[in-house]
Amino acid sequence: MAYINTFKLHAAARIIGQGGVIAYPTEAVYGLGCHPKATKAIQRILDIKRRPWQKGLILVASRVEQIEPYLSEDGLKLIDCFQEKHKRPVTWLMPVKQEVSPLLRGEHDKIAIRLSDNPYVKALCDAANSALVSTSANRAGQPAMRSAEEVRSKLGAELDMILVGPTGGNKRPSSIVDAQTRELLRA
């Protein structure tokens, strides 16, 4: 496991808790993130990316308890999908509570959720004691970024912090699977 600077990790968690926006390493690329209940921070991420709210965003978490507050009763019945083993990371589409912000879920009745094996994502979620919003650190239509230096040069002025560390080394983003229908939406 890579060395994680705990001082910077806790500083990032504090920023998240105060409604800030950070960049951090994920399984394949750098991501932008914030607390899932911080509506202004979610809007900032959408503005930074120039991404329409209708598409929705992903939540990442280190454990199931962090995502349960966002799932409807039907979603909670599907929680065992996170126990399945796959060759690469899987983001599951799960039925979402109606009161979850449309900025987070978009125009959908499901929300995208990934339990991450990335040590930075896991440590950050645990330090923040929450799931996190996660979306690739890039403007819509532009290539995703794989290093802190790229993020700093292109988006740094718009962020509250960049948590520096290696990405998980995956060449492609996670698969996306609908937990109810088992339809593969992104291979």
Judged against a pLDDT cut of 90, whether residue 79 lies above it is answered with yes
Enter the DSSP assignment of 76: H
Nearest partner of 95 among 120, 112, 82, 116, judged by Cα: 112
How many CB atoms are located within 10 Å of the residue 102 CB? 14
Enter the DSSP assignment of 98: T
Nearest partner of 145 among 162, 132, 120, judged by Cα: 162
- The pTM for the full model equals 0.94
Per-residue pLDDT reduced to its tens digit, 167-182: 988 888 889 999 999 9
**Residue ranges per domain, the chain?**
6-186
Distance CA 150, CA 66 (A): 30
**Given this model, what pLDDT does residue 5 score?**
87
Residue indicated by tokens 């930075």: 120
Q: Hey, what CATH topology would domain 6-186 get?
A: DHBP synthase (3.90.870)
Judged against a pLDDT cut of 70, whether residue 22 lies above it is answered with yes
